[in-house]
Amino acid sequence: MADKVFYNGKIYTMDGGRSSEVSAVAVSGHRIEAVGDSGEMLQLAEEGCEKIDLEGRCMLPGFNDSHCHVLLTGLEQEKVSLRGARSIEECIRRCREYIEKTHLPEGSWICGSGFDHNIFEDEKRVPDRHDLDRISTKHPIIFDRVCGHIAGVNDLALREVGYDAHTVVTGGVLDKDENGRLTGVIREAALDLFKQRMPKADVAGAQKALLRVYGEAAACGVTSMQTDDLEGASLEVVMAAYNGLADKGLAAVRIFEEVQAARVPILREFLKKGLRTGDGSRFFKIGNIKLLTDGSLGARTAFLREPYSDEPDNRGVAVYTQDALNEVVMEAHLAGMQVACHAIGDGAAAQCIEAFGRAWESDHVDLRHRIVHCQFVDEQMLDDMVRFHICADTQPPFVPSDYPLTASRLGNRDAGGYVWKSMLKKGIHIGGGSDSPVETFDPIWGIHCAVNRTDQDGNPPGGWHPQEKLTVEEAVSIYTAGGAYLSFEENEKGTIGPGKLADMAVLDRDIFTIPSEEIRYLNNVMTVMDGKIVYCR
């Protein structure tokens, strides 16, 4: 018998699409007992059952962010926020104010995060060591771009990690000036030593940061997050933090943890722990092995097959040789680990497809390897993704941020960007994510971006490459059932049905009947996770 009944709603189970509509859901414990009409479900109510009148509102499966950085999103609030800064001078001013406010002792590292030099009103460049030395020569300083793939550091930070003009970093770039001296602009793998110097969170600090995100996620209707957290803390701390919150009854989202293991030796150390994809509880599971194969479009570090149109000598940064990528993917595949490769440029995507293809041909185990972002691909790549059972982990909110850059960066090649409709037509499984803190993890905004392909102001008119727009049903599906498939949990969540985990989101209006341009104005008014109402507006 049910202990909760949600009735008098427009409930889209998403099992078979929008057409599957009921008016009530009966919940027993942390699972759905039954779905049907309101009268039938209310008959299942046992004594003391909580009856929740949805008042005709739209209920959907709980949203699943298929790729983000939960811990970093929470920890970012402790850094110098450079988001929205319109100039290098504003970044400098914010950092100076932070030092004055916090009274950090000399020698303490300072991290600023979130700047985007493409929106600077003065010089559209990354702040370098000369800029950061104006802030302090007593504190090592790093300014991390919003994408996390390029940064500016001051002279003391360079000395702290031991970088000089002769340093060579595989898969990374250290910019130099005309005299051969380091400028302090650092790209890709060259950032690793700096990020290792950043203070790592302990369990208490991690839990404090996670609780910040839990509240925000619940308010957005997000009940599952697939997250790469190991930049902010060790795997042991991450596991203890999440599981500790769950033990206290404070889990508000379900976690699928991505594990960064850049090279074979690091991967082997992880595998010795005996953990594999899917291990864990209903609140926290070990996810995939996460590999970064290139950078970002905004930083011009995405690895392309042909040079950037606005930098003819630059193809971006290939973090791996093909042989090195093949090796680590094969090792993970044979160990039964799903692999997720960050790849934005078509050059990086081609490398990933080859590595996944070799792994598939060696052992036909469908581990649902995924390309995270998968932003620029051609027809042959899509066909190969189908052939090798490769999934796409997409970030629709990147469209408003990136479309103003693509024509200058890529010329007419930008037509092969963010081709979600083409992927679905070919049968490629895709999930919808945010890459938070790069973009907001609000799934309503993500669905708007997938459906309309415009920014907040409705630009570009008609949407960017409108032939790749998704229907509302498709967009909702990638943020629910699509994400569940990527984490092997389609039998547990992603749709509303008997036996599924009781994770649901309630919107103030029907997402399927309002004009598509109004989707971004929808509000989540209730979130149910594990059978509990974790948010109610």
Query: Do 136 and 283 contact (CB within 8 A), yes or no?
Result: no
| Statement to judge: residues 318 and 386 lie in one domain | yes
Residue 95 in tokens: 């950092």
Considering the entire predicted model, what is its pTM? 0.90
Q: Summarize pLDDT for 413-462 with one digit per residue, the tens.
A: 888 899 999 999 999 999 999 999 999 999 999 999 999 999 999 999 99
Residue 59 in tokens: 């209920």
| Statement to judge: residues 274 and 379 lie in one domain | yes
- Which CATH number is 530's domain given? 2.30.40.10
Q: Summarize pLDDT for 492-513 with one digit per residue, the tens.
A: 999 999 999 999 999 999 999 9
Residue that is last in its domain, among 448, 470, 492: 470
Residue 477 within a domain: no
Query: How confident is residue 255, by pLDDT bands cut at 50, 70 and 90?
Result: very high
What's the 3-state SS for 234-301?
A: CHHHHHHHHHHHHHCCCCCCEEEEEEECCCHHHHHHHHCCCCCCCCECCCEEEEEEEEECCCCCCCCC
Mean of per-residue pLDDT scores for the chain: 95
> Hey, which residues does 260 pair with through a beta bridge?
290
In angstroms, the CA 407 to CA 23 distance is: 46
| Statement to judge: residues 413 and 304 lie in one domain | yes
- Spell out the residues 6+ positions from residue 515 whose beta carbon is closer than 8 angstroms to its own: none
In angstroms, the CA 200 to CA 203 distance is: 10
Residue 451 within a domain: yes
The confidence score (pLDDT) of residue 141 equals 95
| Statement to judge: residues 325 and 387 lie in one domain | yes
Residue 177 within a domain: no
Query: How confident is residue 206, by pLDDT bands cut at 50, 70 and 90?
Result: very high
Task: Select the more confidently predicted residue: 6 or 18.
Answer: 6
Query: Do 295 and 147 contact (CB within 8 A), yes or no?
Result: yes
DSSP 104: P
| Statement to judge: residues 518 and 411 lie in one domain | no
The confidence score (pLDDT) of residue 189 equals 86
Q: Lowest mean pLDDT: which of 23-32, 40-49, 234-243?
A: 40-49
Residue that is last in its domain, among 470, 489, 515: 470
In the chain, how many domains are there?
Answer: 2
Residue 283 in tokens: 């609140």
| Statement to judge: residues 364 and 455 lie in one domain | yes
- Tell me the backbone φ, ψ of residue 102, rounded to 5 degrees: -90, -15
Residue 402 within a domain: yes
Query: How confident is residue 19, by pLDDT bands cut at 50, 70 and 90?
Result: low
Residue 453 within a domain: yes
Percent of the chain with pLDDT over 90: 87
Residue 398 within a domain: yes
| Statement to judge: residues 465 and 404 lie in one domain | yes
Residue that is last in its domain, among 470, 488, 517: 470
> For the packed helices 379-387 and 346-362, what is the interaxial angle rounded to 10 degrees?
20
| Statement to judge: residues 306 and 435 lie in one domain | yes
In angstroms, the CA 434 to CA 479 distance is: 10
Residue 450 within a domain: yes
| Statement to judge: residues 275 and 414 lie in one domain | yes
Q: Name the residue range of residue 30's domain.
A: 2-56+500-536
> Hey, which residues does 341 pair with through a beta bridge?
291, 371
Residue 172 within a domain: no
Q: What is the CA radius of gyration of the chain?
A: 23
Query: How confident is residue 17, by pLDDT bands cut at 50, 70 and 90?
Result: low
Query: Do 152 and 174 contact (CB within 8 A), yes or no?
Result: no
| Statement to judge: residues 383 and 528 lie in one domain | no
| Statement to judge: residues 383 and 524 lie in one domain | no
Query: Do 24 and 40 contact (CB within 8 A), yes or no?
Result: yes
- Which CATH number is 334's domain given? 3.20.20.140
| Statement to judge: residues 459 and 527 lie in one domain | no
Q: Summarize pLDDT for 77-132 with one digit per residue, the tens.
A: 888 999 999 999 999 999 999 998 888 889 999 999 989 998 999 889 999 999 99
Name which of 116, 184, 185, 186 is nearest 145 in CA terms: 116
- Identity of the amino acid at 483: G
In angstroms, the CA 485 to CA 481 distance is: 6
The confidence score (pLDDT) of residue 18 equals 61
